[in-house]
Structures are given as C-alpha cells and as structure tokens.
C-alpha cells in the first residue's frame, strides 16, 4: 500500500530564513510525487510535481523539491521564506500502480515569524 510520512507536524521559521519540509513515501512502483499548499478555508493548490527526469523540480512561489529514490524522500525547500508562506503543506504520492488517486501525508503546518 502506498503511504506518505511527513514527520514534522509544525515548523516555525523566521521570515527570510530558509525552509525545508520533509516527506518520505512508500510506493510499490514508480511514484508520482506532489506538494500541495492549503491556506485556511481554501482548497489545495499544487506547488510542484515530479514524474520523471531531473530529480530537482521547480515549482511556483519560489519552491523546489528534490526526489531521492535511495532515501524514498521528496523534500520541499525554499531559500527565503515570506510571511505569506504561512500555511499547511501536504506531500502526496500517486501513480498508475496505485490507481487514479493521491495518498496524502498528514501535513506540516508552517508558521512564519516576522
């Protein structure tokens, strides 16, 4: 069965500091990996996705993520966090091996201190 682990429930960073959110996945086939962001009362917005090719993927809002197959990880990074980045971040895995659905992690709540 596919699964996603986001070990950090809450993270607090200062504005302008760098950010890394961790994501580990379990999947029996080639994974398709996603990061979504959810602001209060809002739906999920896709930040970036990985299917194949270059293991470092760029997304919107200055985010990037690196796929490391040997570590089963897909960590999200941003070099300089802005106060507007405060939100909840979800990592998700999917693919043809798991049917047409996404399996999400439990999320990481990001707080940004001014």
Partner 1 sequence: DTGVSQNPRHKITKRGQNVTFRCDPISEHNRLYWYRQTLGQGPEFLTYFQNEAQLEKSRLLSDRFSAERPKGSFSTLEIQRTEQGDSAMYLCASSPQGSWSAEAFFGQGTRLTVV
- Please report which residue ranges of 18-83 form alpha helices under DSSP H: none
42 binds partner 1 (CB under 8 A): yes
Least distance to partner 1, CB of residue 114, Å = 26
Least distance to partner 1, CB of residue 96, Å = 7
Chain centroid to Cα 73, Å, comes to 10
Q: Is 62 left (phi over 0), alpha (psi -120 to 50) or beta?
A: left
Q: Which of residues 76-105 bind partner 1 (CB under 8 A)?
A: 90, 92, 94-96, 99-105
Least distance to partner 1, CB of residue 43, Å = 4
Least distance to partner 1, CB of residue 24, Å = 14
- Distance separating alpha carbons of residues 76 and 42, to the nearest angstrom: 21
Cβ(65)–Cβ(77) under 8 Å? yes
Site residues (vs partner 1, CB under 8 A): 4, 32, 36, 41-46, 49, 51, 90, 92, 94-96, 99-107
């Amino acid at each position: 069965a596919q699964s996603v682990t986001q070990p950090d429930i809450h993270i607090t960073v200062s504005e302008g500091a760098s950010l890394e959110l961790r994501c580990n996945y379990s999947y029996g086939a080639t994974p398709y990996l996603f990061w979504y962001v959810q602001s209060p009362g809002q739906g999920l917005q896709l930040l970036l996705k990985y299917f194949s090719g270059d293991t470092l993927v760029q997304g919107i809002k200055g985010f990037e993520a690196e796929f490391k197959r040997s570590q089963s990880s897909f960590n999200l990074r941003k070099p300089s966090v802005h106060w507007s980045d405060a939100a909840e971040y979800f990592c998700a895995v999917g693919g043809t091996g798991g049917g047409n659905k996404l399996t999400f992690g439990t999320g990481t709540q990001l707080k940004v201190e001014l």
